[in-house]
Structure 1
């Protein structure tokens, strides 16, 4: 019985995005993303089944297109970017449609499940082999000690507990 070597993949930052959406005052949605992140994958098959995925984002790189809000998100009310400069994800399993792994924010680790569309593998015009994925899921921000909350005069919650995650990643075959 031969053991197939693992193929290593690195992120193609120009074609990748790690983002989130959260309800604001329960009437609108704020979208944001992390500008400084890295991800890798290792697999022994073209379908990426049981591939090992890892991801790290710098919490100080959060961007919601609003400087004041971003400053608040970097504070101890949310990510505390000074004390917890990174959030991370490490996969446990991937069946081709569901990615299960440990997400760590503020040194709190919880298992999360993401629905994944594996968009396939292709060779670009420069001869690089690439693989594309789109993943979505939800987390409860309070499970990660992101507990700041406020209520408006009319009783609306300012920030929802539920955060929708969306991840669009393209990997480049590296070995």
Structure 2
């Protein structure tokens, strides 16, 4: 069976995350420099192969000091590990399972997936849209920096929520 390749439409996509700060508010961020692709053999995308990579140096939480800290040895160590990657191992139409690599640690994660369908845009390009979410423990990937306020609040939660909204263009 023929394989169809899809590449990310970066202008209509975002690889983002959310994390609790001091357990009272949520900080959002995104990777602005990323690539993503899908290989599929059918229109429902079942068993499709998803992959993405993001340049860690492109992290943006709308706070330069925080972004600099996230790029440091305390978190991502961008000088030594400039990229994070994901490659799926299965997709049943609702859940993408795959290997996420951050720093030098690779772990299997499961991501809830809403396949929003396929449409043809005004420029005759066939596009497919997905909303993908999942949770991971940052410490599982060596992102272990932690601090506690004087009042005893944890500064950064261990749980990170991934929020990936992607649109792909059929090649």
Matched, 1:156 2:148: no
Matched, 1:60 2:57: yes
Runs of 4+ in 1 over 3 A off after TM superposition: none
Q: Residue 146 of structure 1: which of 118, 143, 147 is its match?
A: 143
Output the CA distance in 1 between the equivalents of 2:36 and 2:166: 9
Output the CA distance in 2 between the equivalents of 1:34 and 1:20: 9
Output the CA distance in 1 between the equivalents of 2:26 and 2:165: 19
Q: What secondary structure is seen at the aligned counterpart in 1 of 2:76?
A: coil
Post-superposition Cα deviations, 1:51-107, rounded to whole Å, max 9, x if no partner, equal 011100000000000000000000000001110000000000000000000000001
Q: What TM-score results when the alignment is normalised by the length of structure 2?
A: 1.00
Q: What secondary structure is seen at the aligned counterpart in 2 of 1:149?
A: coil
User: 2:40 matched to which residue of 1?
Assistant: 43
Q: What secondary structure is seen at the aligned counterpart in 2 of 1:152?
A: coil
Output the CA distance in 1 between the equivalents of 2:43 and 2:91: 13
Output the CA distance in 1 between the equivalents of 2:67 and 2:152: 24
Unaligned runs of 5+ in 1: none
Matched, 1:80 2:73: no
Q: What TM-score results when the alignment is normalised by the length of structure 1?
A: 0.97
Aligned-pair RMSD on alpha carbons? 0.3
User: 1:130 matched to which residue of 2?
Assistant: 127
Matched, 1:15 2:20: no
